[in-house]
Amino acid sequence: MNNILLKDYLIEITKGTTPTTIGGEFIESGVNFVKAECLNTGRIIDKSSLSYISPEIHKKLNRSILQEDDLLFSIAGHLGKMAIVRKEDLPANTNQAVAILRIDQKKGDVNFLYYYLNSTQISNYIRKQCAQSVQPNLNLAQVGQLPIIVYSLPTQKSIAKVLSDLDAKIELNNKINRELEAMAKTLYDYWFVQFDFPTPPSSTSGIVGKPYKSSGGKMVYNEELKREIPEGWGVKELGKLIDIQRGISYKSSDISGGGIPMISLNSFNLDGTYKAGGIKSYSGKYTDKQIAKSEDLLIAATDVTRNADIIGKAIIVPHYYKNDLVFSMDIAKIIPKKDISSPYLMMLFNSDHYHNYIKWYASGTIVLHLNMDGVKWYKAEIPPIDLIERFDSFYLPIANRINETERQNEQLTALRDWLLPMLMNGQVASRASATEE
């Protein structure tokens, strides 16, 4: 099939300007300002990474004012990352690290071009263009020269619909999971941080079924924690309630293919949730103590992030694993002995106040390693076991749904990535074109 250049699909290609060039500055809220790091989460702009400028500065930076359906393409830093500007992103502006591709809608479909520029052949082309650069970047002329296979506009739309429908389902699943995770965190905070757990029927307090603290439940000052906790709760060092086991130290040849599934640091998302695509296959030796089963609790004992984001964070092995797994040396298994449960501990380990405590027990320069004494020495308020069990009964169905949705996303992503090269190089273009008729 014939190629044309990306610039032939465009009305305009330009890039933004930083506000400081005209004496502006970033502010706490205002007009959205998109930097290259905002393009790291797929075709939707990552709003958590936005900066903000005033409406006055936005108007002065008129060359880089964004419009709906602009395709943003990172030309420095996060090279080749992209996002499509949506109506809800506006008003917005961007900086010099981001190219603005304004597409001629009579010739090109923005979703098709987004997927095409995500293809392996374009990634390889970009890599060659930057091969001799100390700090890889592209200029606007190089972006405009990217080669695109010629498809009719209806065929572009048909191809894009197949892929965007998959991405829409993935995005919906991500939204569902964010809401479920927020629900679980709210429940934990409400019960075990604010102490407004529902008073059980066996209570003699006279406030049965009502939020404990806000309904007048008795609070007692604890000398060890230097704060009040509900009457009847204990305080113990975690080392008295748990056992800790470390995982397998492995060589690259042990994970070259085949063997038992292994959970590693790559199985942790930055927020402490489980990442389904992080499983490796391990073919070396292991002991019974290095086996993990469904619903076991694992924590990250190593971290390579700049801000110790993952160290000490916890996951529970998803319920859908019916057979054994093993876990790497970067991971530790936490085994509750009594009076506590894995779900309760997982929420504790992923809480902000615990993470602010445990990260100081991590040391290292490039790679952080967790001193397990920090876990053992942590003093925690321990609710009655019946309250913990009630929490588990609410939490586990939520966790199972999150894990199932994450696994479905892994499968949808694999399907999309399998289809992408075939759709883009013309192998199945005839099928896509058939939908036009």
- pLDDT confidence bin for 206, thresholds 50/70/90: low
Sequence-distant (≥ 6) Cβ neighbours of residue 31 within 8 angstroms: 52, 53, 54, 55, 57, 58, 91, 92, 93
- pLDDT confidence bin for 427, thresholds 50/70/90: low
| Predicted pLDDT of residue 139 | 83
Q: Please, how many CA atoms are within 13 Å of residue 104, restricted to the half-sphere of its CB? A: 10
Please check whether residue 46 is in contact with residue 38, taking contact to mean a CB–CB distance below 8 angstroms.
Answer: yes
Give the whole-angstrom CA distance, residue 238 versus residue 372.
11
- pLDDT confidence bin for 1, thresholds 50/70/90: low
| Predicted pLDDT of residue 282 | 92
pLDDT exceeds cutoff 70 at 172: yes
Choose between 332 and 23: higher pLDDT.
332
pLDDT exceeds cutoff 80 at 207: no
Instruction: Provide the 3-class DSSP secondary structure of residue 242.
Output: strand
Same domain assignment for residues 199 and 331 = yes
Residue 267 lies in a domain: yes
Residue 391 lies in a domain: yes
Residue 163 lies in a domain: no
| Predicted pLDDT of residue 109 | 93
| Predicted pLDDT of residue 134 | 63
pLDDT exceeds cutoff 70 at 433: no
Q: What percent of the chain has pLDDT over 90?
A: 53
| Predicted pLDDT of residue 423 | 78
Same domain assignment for residues 118 and 183 = no
Please check whether residue 224 is in contact with residue 307, taking contact to mean a CB–CB distance below 8 angstroms.
Answer: no
- pLDDT confidence bin for 340, thresholds 50/70/90: very high
Instruction: For 45-55, write each residue's pLDDT tens digit.
Output: 988 889 999 99
Same domain assignment for residues 193 and 331 = yes
Provide the mean pLDDT of the chain. 88
Same domain assignment for residues 230 and 294 = yes
Mutual orientation of helices 153-192 and 342-349 as an angle, nearest 10°?
100
Claim: this prediction has a pTM higher than 0.85: no
pLDDT exceeds cutoff 60 at 204: no
Q: Which two tokens stand for residue 155?
A: 């065929």
- pLDDT confidence bin for 306, thresholds 50/70/90: confident
Same domain assignment for residues 266 and 396 = yes
Sequence-distant (≥ 6) Cβ neighbours of residue 176 within 8 angstroms: 405
Residue 204 lies in a domain: yes
Same domain assignment for residues 184 and 114 = no
Mean pLDDT, residues 386-413 = 91
Same domain assignment for residues 143 and 189 = no
- pLDDT confidence bin for 262, thresholds 50/70/90: very high
Residue 422 lies in a domain: no
Please check whether residue 295 is in contact with residue 316, taking contact to mean a CB–CB distance below 8 angstroms.
Answer: yes
Same domain assignment for residues 231 and 286 = yes
| Predicted pLDDT of residue 437 | 44
- pLDDT confidence bin for 429, thresholds 50/70/90: low
Residue 319 lies in a domain: yes
Same domain assignment for residues 212 and 301 = yes
The tokens 């990250």 sit on which residue? 300
pLDDT exceeds cutoff 60 at 430: no
| Predicted pLDDT of residue 325 | 92
Mean pLDDT, residues 297-324 = 89
| Domain extent for 393 | 178-400
Residue 412 lies in a domain: no
Same domain assignment for residues 97 and 234 = no
Q: What percent of the chain has pLDDT over 70?
A: 93
Same domain assignment for residues 120 and 195 = no
Mutual orientation of helices 153-192 and 110-117 as an angle, nearest 10°?
80
Give the whole-angstrom CA distance, residue 217 versus residue 368.
42
CA angle 139, 144, 148 (to 5 degrees): 135
Please check whether residue 57 is in contact with residue 24, taking contact to mean a CB–CB distance below 8 angstroms.
Answer: yes
Out of 150, 170, 195, a domain closes at 150
Same domain assignment for residues 182 and 84 = no
Here the CATH number for the domain that contains residue 284 is: 3.90.220.20
- DSSP letter (8 states) at residue 77: S
> How many residues are there in the chain?
437
- DSSP letter (8 states) at residue 198: B
pLDDT exceeds cutoff 80 at 35: yes
Residue 405 lies in a domain: no
| Predicted pLDDT of residue 300 | 93
What's the total number of domains in the chain?
Answer: 2
